[in-house]
């Protein structure tokens, strides 16, 4: 399992294609594992000449889980009613540190949903590591632009069950 140390945590990543291909960094959304990217999509990117790097964000999948920080109330954080244990900027820095540690150089950066927010922050904070930015199903700040309803946010941010039967229901 390939992991790198970044910002005091371990980031799990995988790469697809030839290292000589066009560099592409894929960033997942809220709670999504990097395995959320369909294999057919990854194969298509590789066939188009990309060298793809994707990873699990902190607190997701095989990257470090910060359980000691407690379960965040994501909806309250989004509406400024609570302090976040870490910020989108921290998650963008995780991605930048991954790119630097692997010696990848500048990337075409693609993020989906919250990953799009991370990708936008990545491009702002690390322009030297950004060749282009694609933000899919995402929004910029301020949150009034394209914000989901409170009901939708509650559904998206509720803790996921660890019980297989309940998860599959």
* Domain chopping of the chain, boundaries: 3-168
Structure tokens at 67: 């359980």
Q: What whole-number distance in Å separates Cα of residue 53 and Cα of residue 78? A: 28
CATH value of 3-168 in 3.40.50.1820, 3.90.79.10, 1.20.1260.10, 3.40.140.10: 3.40.50.1820
Q: What angle do CA 74, 55, 145 make, to 5 degrees?
A: 40
Dump pLDDT digits (tens) for 38-93. 999 999 999 999 999 999 998 888 888 877 776 666 665 556 565 767 788 899 99
Structure tokens at 3: 């992991």
Q: How distant, in Å, are the alpha carbons of 50, 74, 144, 169 from that of 16? A: 8, 32, 37, 32
In the predicted model, what is the mean pLDDT of the chain? 86
Reported in sequence order, the residue ranges of 85-138 that DSSP labels E, i.e. its strands, are: 107-112, 130-136
């Amino acid at each position: 399992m390939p992991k790198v140390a970044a910002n005091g945590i371990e980031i799990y990543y995988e790469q697809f294609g030839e290292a000589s291909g066009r560099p592409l960094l894929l960033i997942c959304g809220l709670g999504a594992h990097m395995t959320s990217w369909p294999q057919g999509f990854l194969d298509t990117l590789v066939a188009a000449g990309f060298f793809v790097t994707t990873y699990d964000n902190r607190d997701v999948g095989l990257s470090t889980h910060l359980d000691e920080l407690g379960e965040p109330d994501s909806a309250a954080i989004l509406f400024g009613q609570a302090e976040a244990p870490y910020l989108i900027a921290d998650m963008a820095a995780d991605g930048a540190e991954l790119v630097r540690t692997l010696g990848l150089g500048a990337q075409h950066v693609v993020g989906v949903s919250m990953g799009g927010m991370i990708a936008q922050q990545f491009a702002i904070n690390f322009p030297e590591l950004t060749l282009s930015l694609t933000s899919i199903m995402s929004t910029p700040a301020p949150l009034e632009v394209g914000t989901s309803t409170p009901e939708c946010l509650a559904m998206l941010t509720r803790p996921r069950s660890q019980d297989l039967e309940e998860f599959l229901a």
